[in-house]
């Protein structure tokens, strides 16, 4: 009789556990602003003002908070150039570029099913009368 060896997954990688580090990371990179920032950066290096222009509707504060969080998680690299005034550039790290593949897939899915989702929402809202909102 053979005994099957089971590799134990550390608790920190279990996204279903409330105290999981993986869940904290997932929450940080899965917000709408982080996804848009990752998508916009792509293979480019952009300055803060360029990012703010490209991510329509994001406030200065939200862009700053998201960039700091993405930098902390090793998704974004920040370079400060010693000029007056200082020039700061942002680019995706290797981990960020890998994550962008997933983000790009989500964007493609959204474009593909946008009409379907809009129709489903109209149908749901018509049946429900908007009571669930």
- State the average pLDDT for the chain: 87
Contact 92, 77 (CB under 8 A): yes
User: What per-residue confidence (pLDDT) applies to 10?
Assistant: 58
What letter would DSSP give residue 2?
P
pLDDT, one tens digit per residue, over 34-93 is: 999 999 999 899 999 999 999 999 999 999 999 999 999 999 999 999 999 989 999 999
Q: What is the token pair recorded at 46?
A: 């952009």
Backbone phi, then psi, for 46, in 5-degree steps?
A: -130, 150
pLDDT of 2 over the 90 cut = no
Q: The pTM is what?
A: 0.77
């Amino acid at each position: 009789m053979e005994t099957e060896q089971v590799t134990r997954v550390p608790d920190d990688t279990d996204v279903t556990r409330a105290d999981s580090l993986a869940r904290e990371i997932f929450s940080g990179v899965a917000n709408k602003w982080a996804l848009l920032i990752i998508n916009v950066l792509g293979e480019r290096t952009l300055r803060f003002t360029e990012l703010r222009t490209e991510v329509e509707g994001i406030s200065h504060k939200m862009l700053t908070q998201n960039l700091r969080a993405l930098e902390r998680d090793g998704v974004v690299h920040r370079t400060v150039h010693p000029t007056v005034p200082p020039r700061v550039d942002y680019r995706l790290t290797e981990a960020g570029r890998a994550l962008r593949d997933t983000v790009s897939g989500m964007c493609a899915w959204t474009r593909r099913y946008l009409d379907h989702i809009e129709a489903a929402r109209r149908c749901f809202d018509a049946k429900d009368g908007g009571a669930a909102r």
